[in-house]
Structure 1
């Protein structure tokens, strides 16, 4: 492989057009070589826009000019095409969520290890330094003993024709926005989490449009997670300890120029820590590029374990909601 990772974009999604592909220009060692879409016209349009060769899906996977594949297809197609890319010998960066369920996530994690390839789920927010700083403060005892974690990610109602309203394509709030609080809980509380209760709200077409999950960690920390498509915009979390509470706004989708503020509240004192801005899409791409160029090592197991755990927790939320699901 050359010292430049040649990327093929499988799918011409909105997130690819607005966020991921424009971020490539700021990543050394990464170049977009090819794009593929369901329609040749869409692939040609993306090819012209981003300076890449338009191909079919199968041509892209077979191309010797492509070292790695960025999958941004509908969620229901992630498992199939990520699997095909791995079998074709390509490293894969797949948009979140990696799969529809836990079993599919385990399958892909095992295949990536067998093929000795890098497989990453593109949760860009975990690459933003603000969260590492939060965990540093938490581990350093700044909040005392952690008691609770709460997180919310909600967006205003989507157009009726939006792909996220289509159950057959893996739509729904849980797999679109709900997985962010789940992944944040894993990042900050550790892997041994279990869902103790949940509810989901469905629309008339059978799509979950909002939800609430309760989670407990191995150490007894309780977490309350909310998400949905029926809200004013909210993207935040809070950690509440025995000595202080820490809150962070725009936790999951901070603009590249936004300067994060960690707000720490004690009984009679409030402190604000201002952090440098960061471009989390570029940071995610840089991390993936470095890993793919260096070749898979033992650290990749931790990335895949987080993806498998996220899929497991999403499945537990769905199962726990059960009869508590409501339609509105």
Structure 2
């Protein structure tokens, strides 16, 4: 692949997923440092629908995208269990990679691909976009400043109602079920606030025996000091998207923590025994922020090693949770 210019990154998109249509590609289109040069799909009509809106050449077949000399980096929003194959093929083609979560389905594979990318001088970044929203830095500062005393616990939920039949999350060998696809959000949030040395106390998964996928579940983690994280995920619930940090003198509560629209102004609640306040935080565009971070890392050598280390910690913790989880057939 030919080199990008110092101020512009030529991106190819591998897959026409809903998240790309609604959130990531609009952020790429609006970033002056990004040029979308091609969008690939298994269906040429689908690729053309995307390029009509976002520009670039429509491509039939993911491999054909990697054959283009004008692609410096790829964004991969394919179903979860296809990520590893196309990350490796992209590395072999010599392009940088922004991939939707999860990077792979396991710790060893994640570590291997990160090491392979580094050996080729390529950036490989997993798109846990919520980490790039400023609201979480505000929460961490409040906790560090003692707003709720000493931290005693963390809880988080990411749940939504059932999807239509045929949704990729219901396909064991493609989407991999609820825990593989989006159960990692509350897990990553726990790592973000409690640190990387989390132990798995237990987990209970509701397993659909007909589809052979996990539909929902609860996870209990703990730091070595006994600060616990209670996490809920599922696609058979009402919609929830929140976390809470409990301290010795109060609580911090925040809603819409994983998927806030760019115009949304988060409402952060602090509750103590005789006090309650609400802080209206600035709106932020987490998709634009992650695109910006990826572009800076490719064009200007921005340091993505902390987020890559987080990806490794996440993959290891996900594996441990899966190993100890009790499955209840439904």
The alpha carbon displacement at 1:62 in A equals 2.5
The alpha carbon displacement at 1:45 in A equals 2.5
Give the structure 1 partner of residue 10 of structure 2.
6
- CA distance in 2 between counterparts of 1:271 and 1:49 reads 43
- CA distance in 2 between counterparts of 1:88 and 1:312 reads 27
- CA distance in 2 between counterparts of 1:250 and 1:124 reads 13
Instruction: Note the 1:7-86 alignment, pairs <5 A.
Output: 7-55=11-59, 56-86=61-91
- CA distance in 2 between counterparts of 1:177 and 1:283 reads 20
1:206 has 2:212 as partner: yes
Instruction: State the secondary structure of the residue aligned to 2:220.
Output: strand
The alpha carbon displacement at 1:311 in A equals 1.4
Q: Per-residue displacement from partner, 1:70-128 (whole Å, max 9, x unpaired)?
A: 00111111001011112211111000111111121111111122112111111111101
Give the structure 2 partner of residue 326 of structure 1.
328
Instruction: Note the 1:88-237 alignment, pairs <5 A.
Output: 88-203=93-208, 204-237=210-243
Would you identify which runs of 4 or more consecutive aligned residues in structure 1 move more than 3 Å? none
Do the aligned partners of 2:151 and 2:246 also contact (CA within 8 Å) in 1? Answer: yes
Instruction: State the secondary structure of the residue aligned to 1:218.
Output: coil
1:254 has 2:260 as partner: yes
Do the aligned partners of 1:93 and 1:121 also contact (CA within 8 Å) in 2? Answer: yes
- CA distance in 2 between counterparts of 1:292 and 1:191 reads 26
The alpha carbon displacement at 1:29 in A equals 0.5
Q: Per-residue displacement from partner, 1:234-277 (whole Å, max 9, x unpaired)?
A: 00000001121101011111111111011011110001111011
> What is the TM-score when the length of structure 1 is the normalising length?
0.95
- CA distance in 1 between counterparts of 2:154 and 2:274 reads 21
Instruction: State the secondary structure of the residue aligned to 1:153.
Output: strand
Q: Per-residue displacement from partner, 1:201-232 (whole Å, max 9, x unpaired)?
A: 01121110001001112343110000000110
Do the aligned partners of 2:29 and 2:36 also contact (CA within 8 Å) in 1? Answer: no
Instruction: State the secondary structure of the residue aligned to 1:167.
Output: coil
User: What is the total number of aligned residue pairs between the two structures?
Assistant: 324
Give the structure 1 partner of residue 289 of structure 2.
283
- CA distance in 1 between counterparts of 2:35 and 2:88 reads 22
The alpha carbon displacement at 1:58 in A equals 2.1
- CA distance in 2 between counterparts of 1:225 and 1:254 reads 19
The alpha carbon displacement at 1:51 in A equals 1.1
- C-alpha change, 1:28 and 1:217, in structure 2 (3 Å) is farther
Unaligned 5+ residue runs, structure 1? none
Do the aligned partners of 1:100 and 1:170 also contact (CA within 8 Å) in 2? Answer: no
